Amino acid sequence: MHADSLLQHQFNPAHTSLYLNRIGYGAMQLAGPHVWGQPKDRPAALAVLRTALELGVNHIDTADFYGPHITNELIREALHPYRDGLTIVTKVGFLRGDDQSWQPAASAEQLRDAVHANLRNLGLDCLDVVNLRAPGIHGPDGSPLQASLEVLMRLQQQGLLRHIGLSNVNAAQVAEAQAMTPIVCVQNHYNLAHRDDDALIDTLAAQGIAYVPFFPLGGFTPLQSGTLDTVAVRLQATPMQVALAWLLQRAPNMLVIPGTSSVAHLRENVAAGALRLDAAAIAALDAMQTMSASLATK
């Protein structure tokens, strides 16, 4: 792929008839500060969603615990009735406390309630993809997923959701889940400097399963950020565009979902699909992982 936009290059996850453009949109930032309450500018939030579809985005990531309920309500207000080919992916397994805390919520009743809340607030009869977010707060904790997956599988049999994905999981949890049911996507923390999932990404690519990274710019050291800035200046792009382009070139099953509450930033993010990183840029960016490892051993 060269100057043509990677947005137009689709990925068809195994076990599905979905064809997803590789640049999607993550709706989390549409809620208020700390993903809580109403947005500061509701018309602007609605404009971001509508513009995303105008730019060719056909994959929106959300969760009813964003807000809570706010992002799903915005998606419904902006886009319902939904156009053919739009895939909305949501997550269950967490809820928000009154103190704005993030709390695991994976009992059978909580998962059923979450699926029904997503259906209601999105205005859908069936959810395209439901990701089970495993309970670790600061990353995968290896918890068994069997009981939670069995609940989602029953809801799937009832026609309330089409496909099941996973979020915040390690390779062992993915294997556990795959022994029970087809898994169509995995959503984890991954970026230039946080590459714990390299082996998992390659395994999933060989299986035709989508990998959806979050926090594309999260957790960088000043030295790593400086490297990214240098590459971005040379390529006449923004650091976010370079980080997204690197992810897209990292593996063919990579689907990125950058979030923003700004139409201008949305346009910049989508434009990253046309950015081709040359060998020198790839080498400099790959070295950021070595920087991270060397810093950790000091």
Could you say which of 25, 66, 190, 211 is catalytic?
66
What distance in Å separates the CA atoms of residue 265 and residue 237, rounded to the nearest whole number?
A: 12
Detail the DSSP E strand segments found in the chain.
10-11, 20-21, 25-26, 59-61, 87-92, 94-96, 102-104, 127-133, 161-167, 185-189, 210-214
Three-state secondary structure call for residue 48: helix
Which residue is associated with the tokens 């060998």?
279
Is the bond leading into 39 cis (omega within 30 degrees of zero)? no
Tell which residue, 273, 207, 209, has the closest CA to residue 11: 209
Degrees, nearest 5: CA angle 145-101-73: 85
Residue pair 121/69 in contact (Cβ under 8 Å)? The answer is: yes
Check if 66 is active-site.
Answer: yes
The pair of structure tokens assigned to 23 is 């640049």
Residue pair 78/106 in contact (Cβ under 8 Å)? The answer is: no
Name 279's Cβ contacts closer than 8 Å, sequence gap at least 6. Answer: none
DSSP state of 7: G
> Which residues are annotated as catalytic?
66
